[in-house]
Amino acid sequence: QKEVEQNSGPLSVPEGAIASLNCTYSDRGSQSFFWYRQYSGKSPELIMSIYSNGDKEDGRFTAQLNKASQYVSLLIRDSQPSDSATYLCAVKGRTGGFKTIFGAGTRLFVKA
Amino acid sequence: SQTIHQWPATLVQPVGSPLSLECTVEGTSNPNLYWYRQAAGRGLQLLFYSVGIGQISSEVPQNLSASRPQDRQFILSSKKLLLSDSGFYLCAWNPGTGQYEQYFGPGTRLTVT
């Protein structure tokens, strides 16, 4: 079992719709959770961090964390073509010092 | 504010040649530093990380090495490149002190021919 799993996609949504990206992790003691956006040919950019169960909203982005079920999700409301990118989920586990485990990413296409 | 630099941006090197990639961070002290490689269409592979000057942890045994000669400088090296070393090399930093967000540099795209 991979430590951090994401559906590779591609996930295709129409412009204006809600895009839902999911991530599961194996270390039940994980503490910190992050979402990164990576445009093609560019480096990853941190867009959300979440540490506690529940929802955290930042503009059009909402991160949701459920530690009991070991999943974290990212919702993008009013999706725009500029949101088309690969979204990486990252998890800081209970051990491992300052290492963060990254998922392989989900490709999102927003159709105009 | 903090800034992370990487150079060169792109590099084409023949098999068997040496490699040196450099990463520097500005605007912070004693950051944790990381080197990742991303093969085409793949996820991030952690290669090395460092929590201080001269302290290097290797994640994947291979023909690469890393050094941290100064607090905010991180260097990735190889004596002899392999075709399989091609990829997108990313340097990242985080503040340490209980914070785990990582911030990435612009990356170096390496093609070994």
* Set of chain B residues whose Cβ sits within 8 Å of the Cβ of A49: 101
Residue A104 and residue B51: Cβ atoms within 8 Å? no
Q: Alpha-carbon distance B13 to B89, whole Å? A: 14
Q: Alpha-carbon distance A84 to A90, whole Å? A: 19
Q: What's the burial of A30, exposed, middle or buried (CB within 10 Å: 0-12/13-18/19+)? A: buried
Residue B41 — pLDDT band, cuts 50, 70, 90? confident
* Set of chain B residues whose Cβ sits within 8 Å of the Cβ of A41: 109
Asked if the model's pLDDT at residue B60 lies above 90, the reply is no
pLDDT digits (tens, 9 = 90+) for B11-39: 999 999 999 999 999 999 999 999 999 98
Residue linked to tokens 């979204």: A87
Other beta carbons within 10 angstroms of residue A4's beta carbon come to: 23
Residues A46, B102 contacting (CB under 8 angstroms): yes
Q: Alpha-carbon distance B4 to B17, whole Å? A: 26
Q: Please name every residue paired with A111 in a beta bridge, in sequence order, or none if there are none.
A: A14
Residue B46 and residue A99: Cβ atoms within 8 Å? yes
Q: Alpha-carbon distance B23 to B33, whole Å? A: 9
Lowest-pLDDT choice from A73-87, B6-20, B48-62, B76-90: B48-62
A51: left (phi over 0), alpha (psi -120 to 50) or beta: alpha
pLDDT digits (tens, 9 = 90+) for B61-96: 688 999 999 999 999 999 999 999 999 999 999 998
